[in-house]
Amino acid sequence: MRARMIAGAVALATLILAVGASAKPPGSDTASTVALQWNVKAVAAVRAATTNQGRPGAVSALQPAAACKRGTTSATIAGKHVCLAPRQTCKRSLDRQYHRYRFHCHTGRLTRVKANPPPAPTPVPSPSPLPGQRVDVGGYKLYIHCIGSGEPTVVFEGGSGTADATRPAPGTADIRAAVAGGARVCAYDRAGLGASDPRPAGTTATGKRYADELHALLMGANISPPYVLVGASFGGYMAMSYTLHYPAETAGLVFIDSDPPCNCNVTEVEPAQFELAGVNFGSRPVVILRATSTDARDLASRATNLVRVDANSSHFVAQERPQLVVEATRLVVNAVRGGAPLPPCDQTPLAAAGGKCE
């Protein structure tokens, strides 16, 4: 459509030019020259007018626009050039044309279109509060979380560097939940891990300090003995240390591929000094689930009420044999409650849970 309009206008201007050139009287060269110049300007004006047709803000070349004052907006409304300003009178029927220049004409006077407000920032959800509690153990706090009910209380000790309460190793949370169906079960973050504070500067980590921290934590959280301690890997050292320093509170133990007792310095992840060569479990019920760390003969030699099982897994027994850990813990809990010796391994669910009695 626009192309046809341009072509028609140019043709008309060309015709005017031709007529003007042929209509000159003899001897009127000056007049014809002026007419010719006017006709050329007419053609250019037609071209400009048709080219700008329909463009927002375009002004007809036949009617040059005057410059708008500062603070006003140059516009073409109803084919005419105007300078728009707020509160200027306007025709409501032309409201949509004013929109092109960021104005409204809803009331007969111009108002500026308000910019859309920036979107409200998405609120960052606050982290959920931890379900357990932090307890002062001597100027710094450790975090503990317990579930279930019933004595004895089962306390889980994770491997080296594991925040057992807030970031447990895969599978262990499900194990604790299963055991909690028949007893109170607690897990905690050792000093400097998870939600627990680090020890004060200059404090040496020893087996006795670990035992004292756990004792203060359990007392401060109103969790009374007796306790069944479940130590996995490095956590076995914690169970041994507690037994050595708080023997009256330790009722039974489960070792999950734990290293044997030693007088040694651990230098990696959680550096500490241990003096465990003299630990003895006596007649407490003890279940040992061994895998790859040791043959568990040293541990077994320190207990008289014992079941020893080959877990048939890698070092990560809790992930690969979770039901075996559940059954071993239940076995010790029931023995503590009943005050009776552990039954022979082949009379327990341990073999059915994937273990091999030794």
pLDDT at 67: 83
Domain count, the chain: 3
| Domain range for 84 | 56-115
Per-residue model confidence as pLDDT tens digits over 221-236: 999 999 999 999 999 9
pLDDT at 225: 97
Residue 183 lies in a domain: yes
Distance CA 314, CA 302 (A): 24
Residue 302 lies in a domain: yes
**Residue 303 or 294, more confident:** 303
Using a 10 angstrom Cβ sphere, with 0-12 exposed, 13-18 middle and 19 or more buried, the burial of residue 319 is middle
Q: The domain spanning residue 200 has which CATH number? A: 3.40.50.1820
Range from 34-48, 195-209, 317-331 carrying the lowest mean pLDDT? 34-48
Question: Is 0.85 surpassed by the pTM of this model?
Answer: no
pLDDT at 217 over 70: yes
Residue 122 lies in a domain: no
User: 66 pLDDT band (50/70/90 cuts)?
Assistant: low
Average pLDDT over residues 80-95: 92
Distance CA 45, CA 13 (A): 9
pLDDT at 8: 52
User: 44 pLDDT band (50/70/90 cuts)?
Assistant: low
**Residue 295 or 38, more confident:** 295
Range from 24-33, 170-179, 229-238, 300-309 carrying the lowest mean pLDDT? 24-33
| Same-domain status, 292 and 326 | yes
pLDDT at 64: 46
Average pLDDT over residues 274-279: 96
| Same-domain status, 251 and 341 | yes
Residue 124 lies in a domain: no
Determine how β-strand 80-84 pairs with β-strand 73-77: antiparallel
| Same-domain status, 191 and 43 | no
Q: 315 is written with which tokens? A: 């070092």
Q: Could you tell me if 158 and 101 are in contact, meaning their C-beta atoms sit under 8 angstroms apart?
A: no
| Same-domain status, 145 and 70 | no
Residue 121 lies in a domain: no
pLDDT at 337: 97
Residue 43, Cα to own-chain centre: how many angstroms?
Answer: 69
| Same-domain status, 185 and 92 | no
pLDDT at 10 over 60: no
Last residue in a domain, options 89, 115, 141 = 115
| Same-domain status, 232 and 353 | yes
**Residue 69 or 218, more confident:** 218
Rounded to the nearest 10°, the torsion over CA 82, 86, 87, 90 is 30
| Same-domain status, 147 and 98 | no
Residue 234 lies in a domain: yes
Average pLDDT over residues 328-346: 97
Residue 127 lies in a domain: no
| Same-domain status, 163 and 209 | yes
| Same-domain status, 148 and 234 | yes
| Same-domain status, 19 and 111 | no
| Same-domain status, 191 and 338 | yes
pLDDT at 126: 75
Last residue in a domain, options 51, 68, 90 = 51
| Same-domain status, 77 and 151 | no
The size of the chain, in residues, is 358
Percent of the chain exceeding pLDDT 90 equals: 71
Q: Quote the mean pLDDT of the chain.
A: 86
pLDDT at 12: 52
